[in-house]
Structure 1
């Protein structure tokens, strides 16, 4: 890091793609609890110092390095997500505490494949842990960077005085925090062991449901609590080491040694006979299954939504009713249509890449297999026979717009990759692992699993459409009135794959048309709160949440306001039940993924621009949903005398587990 007046230039710690800190899949960093910064998805394992300064910390598990510059800026380089559990095995670091490093000098290397094969993510997180004291502004200078090249510019505050903390006073407070946390998690009798990473105390508990979350959250040193990876995680922030030391002082060193931790980790995993009952096994299996499917599609969903909006707008521009503003034969239409179609046509490549990242396989190998399935020389063979073997006919099917065949292919590739890496000599793995994996999985998918899964996918889509059409208004009320209830418990993630499969397989979704109304009505309910309340903070929060809901993202409305004033949430359910009734009664259909008011273009039929029936159904249903939800919330659902309820936790997406 080079100092230029009050600016500090940060160089890339690795080659790769820079992402906003908010998109990092670790809520502690994403919510900037550890300070401002950015994420980086590395393409190789070379690491360099992003700043010049003194190495102040190297984590025992080697997954994090702390550097302090001469000007007092404290930098944390966090290598991967949840990699503390790997106990340093992927890392070969060349620095230790006390070393002076220059910007761009080598810190060492790490094995990205080993991290991924253990089911962890390789995202590098750059955080300025004393941002509030030193940072005025952070400017990212590049989206894709090479190691050692400029990546960000820090504008620093003018610091006139440094206030030294009293270590003795801090120590007393840490001891009080440690005692409070130990008592609140159930005392030593409920603790197997405790470890810490750069921001969190990670407790392995005998009963993870026993802790009193509210008591722990109310401590001044605690930022938040989480339950993940079989751990009870107490988010502390930069003072985590001090609090951890205080915890171990009170519990005893046997609770914090590596052997105890390893035993606790094993205790959370199946060992020996599995004594879980059938329902527990089924539930865990289903959650894992949904987690893989949802995690494979989550990175693609918003691209599908954007593409659907573009396709809908093209339908509007080609309508005969408005004079066909854009000819379907024009070059502009062809280009825009290709932009809208590309995410659907190449869906197997995108899903394969994200599925491999979720499972822990090689994303490039999976993407190549997806490319095989949609290769231009194979797509014309769709519907033709690839040959007969033992009386079985092997048909070629169309894989563009398909999802599930590629998820299974990514899983097969992951298994074969791991097998080959264990049995091939190391000097052969770089060439023969991709070669053999791509060859075997492509063949199995094209000849066997692909045709079977595509057939099942089409059957599921047709059955859903048949049920919704024939049940009409009844399914409209049911889905409209209760879908957001599923959201509260996280059960809607099991429905998302069905919606995506509908659109990818048939080009439309009756189910998504009903779900669309639930977003609109929750937005209308929180809008009523924004207009009625005289509380400044609640008014601004509610207006922002309403805009977000009308743009298709309801979480700020639901978890920020509506559920905390339960009648507001119920008002939204009433509104969407009426909207769902109209949509189901008249068989409203949806041709894109984007919902709520911003998704209006998804109700235009791309294959028949002159057909406006679904758009009119959407418009009438949405107006009804908005008016009824707004009136219900304004008249009955909310007043300023109501006491706010406890914050409702957003359920964990299975794709993040």
Structure 2
């Protein structure tokens, strides 16, 4: 792929740099916020060689590139410069649907740390393998060093999320990190471990251990961003530099410890309990209803609403049952794509579907989903069928993921119980095989349409 050429054509097609308010990217997509989304013609953008699909959602004009998105993003930035959102966009944002705005906000918070989350989660899985096989044990110094590396994001999650949330809510990032850091201050953690309340200005506050928590710091930083906006309007410019951070910290940290933190920790525990209740009612039914249809949830961008919940499950329960049902769907998309690659005579589609299939096995599904399955339609259906049957298989054997952040083949170590390999691990790996085989066979046997006609 000629990254520079793709960038030039995309920028031209969306109306030039003058039409761009801001630009970010995730694993596979350029995420533009445009002044006027009516200027670009979706069909013309999608015709650009290197563009898989265009998605307009959550106030973003998303151009799906695939795993070459970062070098294309770098070339686009050279053309448009570092863009920041302008005031003209505020009126447009009022018209964005609440759920779209929610998913866009969540994705904006989690996308910057997803790579680190996947890396540390994978390392945790590898350490589990070394421990189960006896190569390393927790008493060894080598294990302790690697464990510290794998655990740094999870333990200090409120600090990382505080900074990322602050950027998303357009406030001082270091203030967001400071709020998260105060929640993890060793003295407060020690008091929380003893279970005794503290007396703060005459109020008894029951402290909690917020290491590895997800929701409390995000809500705290959102409230702090509103406070910062109000203070910036009334505090004199001459003292704003230090007075605004001072007020935010002395107000928000105690408020978080006393109100926000306990309330949203309770919400997290409630959600985890409800999810486990549904899962325990019928893991097989849960696998059928989620394993395949999760592909549609990803297709509509709704999965971002679930990401904090899935991560929170791991932090609270030390495993997530829902993620354990999704491996079959990922491999079903790969199986359907590779079946298309073998069956089609269209050379461009053959190249796209083969590369998308292997990329899907590695954990990135967008090229397969948007480049092959959705345009051809029938392979999308076969993927959902394969994913649902694979999900039911994993549900039967009680598959769970013990570390968040990975998908595809790299998620396999996350399926190993730290206490040793159990049936759940075989269920997770087996669901991948089942999903792949069923989607591959049904796709290969079922005629589908492409530009060259029926295949």
Q: Deviations over 1:49-108 (max 9, x none)?
A: xxxxxxxxxxxxxxxxxxxxxxxxxxx9x89x944xxxxxxxxxxxxxxxxxxxxxxxxx
Q: Does 1:349 align with 2:155?
A: no
Superposed displacement of residue 227, structure 1? 5.5
Contact 1:382/1:396 (<8 A) preserved: yes
Contact 2:397/2:426 (<8 A) preserved: no
Contact 1:348/1:400 (<8 A) preserved: yes
Give the secondary structure class of the aligned counterpart of 2:198: strand
Structure 2 portions without partners, runs of 5+? 26-31, 64-85
Structure 1 portions without partners, runs of 5+? 1-20, 23-28, 37-75, 84-119, 124-198, 235-260, 271-280, 646-657
2:286 to 469, 475, 486: 475
Q: Tell me, in whole angstroms, the C-alpha distance in 2 between the residues paired with 1:345 and 1:469.
A: 28
Q: Does 1:402 align with 2:213?
A: yes
Q: Does 1:450 align with 2:425?
A: no
Superposed displacement of residue 642, structure 1? 5.8
Q: Does 1:336 align with 2:146?
A: yes
1:622 to 432, 439, 449: 432
Q: Which residue of 1 aligns with 2:168?
A: 358
2:110 to 288, 293, 297: 297
Q: Which residue of 1 aligns with 2:416?
A: 604
Q: Which residue of 2 aligns with 1:245?
A: none
Choose 1 or 2 for highest CA Rg: 1
Q: Deviations over 1:178-234 (max 9, x none)?
A: xxxxxxxxxxxxxxxxxxxxx9995487xx9xx975489889xxxx98868979999
Q: Does 1:497 align with 2:308?
A: yes
Superposed displacement of residue 553, structure 1? 1.0
Q: Tell me, in whole angstroms, the C-alpha distance in 1 between the residues paired with 2:116 and 2:179.
A: 21
Q: Tell me, in whole angstroms, the C-alpha distance in 2 between the residues paired with 1:122 and 1:564.
A: 26
> What does 1:231-246 align with in structure 2 at a 5 Å threshold?
none
Superposed displacement of residue 122, structure 1? 10
TM-score with structure 2 setting the length: 0.80
Give the secondary structure class of the aligned counterpart of 2:446: helix
Q: Tell me, in whole angstroms, the C-alpha distance in 1 between the residues paired with 2:24 and 2:367.
A: 29
Q: Does 1:417 align with 2:392?
A: no
| Structure number having the greater helix percentage | 2
Contact 2:165/2:221 (<8 A) preserved: yes
Q: Tell me, in whole angstroms, the C-alpha distance in 1 between the residues paired with 2:345 and 2:143.
A: 49
Give the secondary structure class of the aligned counterpart of 2:297: helix
Q: Deviations over 1:405-450 (max 9, x none)?
A: 1111111221222222211111111111112212211111011110
Q: Does 1:520 align with 2:327?
A: no
Which has the bigger relative contact order, CA under 8 A and spacing at least 6?
Answer: 2
Taking a change above 3 Å as real, the CA distance of residues 450 and 427 of structure 1, as seen in their structure-2 partners, is same
Q: Tell me, in whole angstroms, the C-alpha distance in 1 between the residues paired with 2:151 and 2:298.
A: 30
Superposed displacement of residue 596, structure 1? 1.9
1:541 to 336, 352, 363: 352
Taking a change above 3 Å as real, the CA distance of residues 408 and 232 of structure 1, as seen in their structure-2 partners, is closer
> What does 1:149-298 align with in structure 2 at a 5 Å threshold?
203=36, 213-214=42-43, 268=92, 284-298=97-111
Give the secondary structure class of the aligned counterpart of 1:378: helix
TM-score with structure 1 setting the length: 0.57
Q: Deviations over 1:313-346 (max 9, x none)?
A: 1111111xx3x11122111100111111111001
Q: Tell me, in whole angstroms, the C-alpha distance in 2 between the residues paired with 1:364 and 1:300.
A: 16
Q: Which residue of 2 aligns with 1:66?
A: none
1:579 to 390, 401, 405: 390
Q: Does 1:511 align with 2:313?
A: no
Contact 1:202/1:232 (<8 A) preserved: no
- Aligned Cα root-mean-square deviation (Å): 3.8
Contact 2:383/2:439 (<8 A) preserved: yes
Q: Which residue of 2 aligns with 1:441?
A: 252
Give the secondary structure class of the aligned counterpart of 2:186: coil
| Structure number having the greater strand percentage | 1
Q: Which residue of 2 aligns with 1:253?
A: none
